Amino acid sequence: MRTLVLSRSEVERIATMELAVSAVEDAFAAFGRGDATMPPKVYLPIEDHDADFRAMPARLGDCAGIKWVNVHPHNRDLHGLPTVMAVYVLNDAATAFPLAVMDGTRLTSLRTGAAGAVASKYLAQRAPKTIGFIGCGAQAYTLHGAHRVVFDGFESLAYDRNIDSAKRFAAEVGGRVVSLDQAAGSDIVCTATPSRTPFVHAHWIQPGAHVNAMGADAPGKRELSTETLERAEVYIDDVHQATASGEINVPFASGDFSLEDIAGTLGEVVAGVLPRPSLAATTVFDSTGLAIQDLSLARAIYDAARSQSIGQEIDLIGLGSRESA
């Protein structure tokens, strides 16, 4: 038995956005039905570098896996390295044999964009005429690509504090640069920033709009005002992660938002355990990123790589002599 090793370029060849959206939708449904095992995300702070590592294990069906991922905000400026890098290890659940080791950086970006699109598919009230992308870094591109899988014909409105970033994004996706309040007034709003200060205000959000709050993934981070949350039906991906490090973590800690204010999990809606929101509802999806999303997509990438004979097979754990005996 050999372990398949997949580089980033090989993952990029295999992992289409259609594959990512399908895998992430399946993961949400399994989580909503209670068919997945996912311990809480583990954080390893690196205080002297204002950074952290995160370990994200999960089990789904016949596979288990873990993602080891970092967030080092100063990497690009100081070291010429990406802010986020990841490695994924995929195991057979029955034997623990490591089926694959693959780049998890592109996987992370794809599954995050796909999660936003799946949320919009199930929580938005209608096909959008406009989608606002607030924060036009790397994640905005996968959010846009994933929404193109789910919806046709929307106009992309771009806002970023760095006007050059907004212009690059708008030029690449065929959208236009707008002000912050205009982007926030879209039919669907996707925020993807590392902000610790809320900057999206309730009076900018259209009644019946849907907001994907994608940026908050650590304690203290937030993008939406508390009033924005109070005026919406708020859906989360996981209670433990959302209250500890998601968009609701700060108002939850201060007592301004409670568990009773949560409408449900996205997985419950995707699985049909909860009904979709009413047509009049303004909705928010608080995304923290689920380990089962990574696992579901990693398994899909592994299966596709095997069928296409992509990647390098290695005797990672030293079974070669045993096999030949």
Annotated catalytic residues are 67
* Six token digits for residue 243: 């209250």
Give, to the nearest 10 degrees, the angle between helix 17-33 and helix 105-123. Answer: 70
Q: Which amino acid is at 305?
A: A
Angle between helices 138-150 and 17-33 (to 10 degrees): 80
Tokens of 209: 């709009």
Which of the 8 DSSP states describes residue 177?
E
CB 45 within 8 A of CB 52: yes
- Whole-angstrom distance, CA of residue 263 vs CA of residue 257: 12
Alpha-helical (H) ranges within 174-290 are 180-184, 226-230, 239-245, 249-254, 266-270
